Structure 1
Amino acid sequence: MGVRGCRRQQRRRAGGIDHLSDLSDDLLVRVLELLPDTRDAVRTGALSRRWRGLWTRVPSLRLISGGKRRFRGARGAKRFLALVDDHLRHRDHKAAALDHLTISFAMDPAGQQARQQLRSRSIEAAQRWIFYASRIGVKSLDLDLTLPLSDYRRLYFFR
């Protein structure tokens, strides 16, 4: 039996009822708000047309570079900074209020030259994100910008 036949059979067993489609958009937005990372909420847009753009109505965004989807090295750090900018740009055009914004970026140790470039890029990005949050009236901003320990020692202890 093909894939289509299996799906038809599953629908018959379930009575052909799609309970998810019966939920209101407000309830679906609440479900998306409970996801641990905004990237997961954005990916739900692939489920159906109805889910596309729902993530922009979520009142809190959480963008975290660590965890199981770690952005490693200089290339990964640049991708994460671009991802945050892209999410905020998409969010900027929507009317839904943003109450909470959490951005956590932990930079991996890299070569000296790459670290210097990433440090200046990440500081510039953090300034943009703070300006964005103040411009749209975010109620709470949690910004965690972590440099490698060797950079802290060099910047603060050996001056």
Structure 2
Amino acid sequence: MDSTTAVEKQAAARSAKRARRPTTPPDAGDDAAVDLISGLDDDVLLRVLSLLPDASDAVRTGALSRRWRGLWTRVAALRFAPRPGFTGATTAAAGAAAEQRAAIERYAAFIDGVVARRAQSGCAIESLSIVYTTSGIQKQRTPAYVTDPLAIPGPTWWPKAERDMQQLMPSCVRAARCWICNAFRHGVKSFVLDLRLPPAPPPMRVPPVPPLYSWWGYYGDEEEEEDVLLLDGLPCPDRLETLHLALGDARLRLPSTVKFASLAHLSLERINITTGGAHLLGRLVSSASCPHLQKLRMRNIYLRGGVNEEMRIEANVLSELWIDTVAVLTSLKLTTPRLRALHMYECSYEVLTISAPRLEELAISFQPNFTPRWLEKLRSKVACCACEA
């Protein structure tokens, strides 16, 4: 009796489920029962797919019906957002670093496969966005030894933090270079790469010392390590108009010559540039490399060996410039004839030279004890009021 009752209940449930399904004309195909918008134009469906938050969602729509199969390969914008359980370890137990390393390798392989399949369609990729987040990281913070000259990473945290980063960083660097190469090769107009890696160890207060930034040696001998992102030999990004690189404090070695012929908007965040990079960074964001650059943002850029180095930015068409914590640098010279908005925060430059005759908006804040000796060639129509403390 019990088994009969159970069978009857299952049959009733199936009947109720069938009753809830939408009815279709008897002459409709199999796809009509599951795909009620298949009659829409391709442009409309592609627009719908382009609004999905993650490219994996677009790929899965191919299972809906024959109408959707392969349609995602023509979407103009691809966004890759990490998901729980796919991008890294979920605990801090032993082996978590290895788990994170394997996770980013899986993530990189998935993205490379999707981009390669998308490129076979013959349609240009207009926008590519890639975000990688290690589990448990909610917010990136500026290391205290950059914003506070009297703080250095606590030695109690060095062994584990350094060991974890040494294991994770090479995989991140390899993946990042591959993604950048793919973006440049496929001629995207907009490229976003955001690596959200574990933050630096918490600081420890020490007695006052001269601001020589000797504690940057914490990162080791960059010439002997393999976790440096190299941009040499990459395809020429002729169509690139917007570029956002946030590399999670990974080391970046800038090329001596590079050309972004169409780049108009550039954002650089959380990047540790190798020794001697001040000159190359200045050249990268100047008209020599980016003749059409209009908006530039640099935030949490760490220049190894920047003491006694000067960075010159000569940008003929730049209109907006935001600089937030670009250290360590002794001198910064700006030659920006069309600059209208300039925001600089947490400055630690001894010499700051600004030539901006069309400047309309100005905001500058300096770190304690790092006010420059002078401000030269500040030519603008901005009304400035100097107040003595």
Q: Which interval holds the TM-score relative to the shorter structure?
A: 0.7 to 0.9
% identical aligned pairs: 39
Q: 2:211 maps to what in 1?
A: none
CA pair 35-49 structure 1, distance change in 2 beyond 3 A? same
Output the CA distance in 1 between the equivalents of 2:21 and 2:184: 53
CA contact (8 A) 2:119 2:125 kept: no
CA pair 12-39 structure 1, distance change in 2 beyond 3 A? closer
Q: With structure 1 as the length reference, what TM-score do the two structures score?
A: 0.78
Q: 1:129 maps to what in 2?
A: 179
Q: 1:48 maps to what in 2?
A: 65
Structure 1, unpaired ranges of 5+: none
AA in 1 matched with 2:46:
V
Structure 2, unpaired ranges of 5+: 1-11, 90-99, 137-159, 204-214, 220-389
Output the CA distance in 1 between the equivalents of 2:180 and 2:190: 11
AA in 2 matched with 1:50:
R
CA pair 108-119 structure 1, distance change in 2 beyond 3 A? farther
Corresponding residue to 2:107 among 62, 80, 85 = 80
SS in 2 for 1:150: coil
Output the CA distance in 1 between the equivalents of 2:119 and 2:194: 21
CA contact (8 A) 2:128 2:188 kept: yes
CA pair 152-51 structure 1, distance change in 2 beyond 3 A? farther
Output the CA distance in 1 between the equivalents of 2:202 and 2:193: 17
CA contact (8 A) 2:82 2:131 kept: yes
CA contact (8 A) 1:81 1:122 kept: no
SS in 2 for 1:102: strand
- Say yes or no: does 1:23 pair with 2:50: no
Q: Which has the higher contact order (CA 8 A, sep 6+)?
A: 1
AA in 1 matched with 2:110:
L
1:62 to partner: Cα distance: 0.4
1:92 to partner: Cα distance: 2.2
CA contact (8 A) 2:183 2:191 kept: yes
RMSD: 3.3
Pick the structure with more helix per residue. Answer: 1
CA pair 47-148 structure 1, distance change in 2 beyond 3 A? same
Q: Which has the larger radius of gyration?
A: 2
Q: With structure 2 as the length reference, what TM-score do the two structures score?
A: 0.35
Matches within 5 A, 1:55-134: 55-66=72-83, 71-73=87-89, 74=100, 75-108=102-135, 115-134=165-184
Corresponding residue to 2:53 among 36, 43, 62 = 36
CA contact (8 A) 1:108 1:147 kept: no
Pick the structure with more strand per residue. Answer: 2
Q: Once the two structures are superposed, what CA deviation does each residue of 1:19-46 show, in whole Å capped at 9, x if it has no partner?
A: 4121112211111111111111111111
Output the CA distance in 2 between the equivalents of 1:115 and 1:60: 32
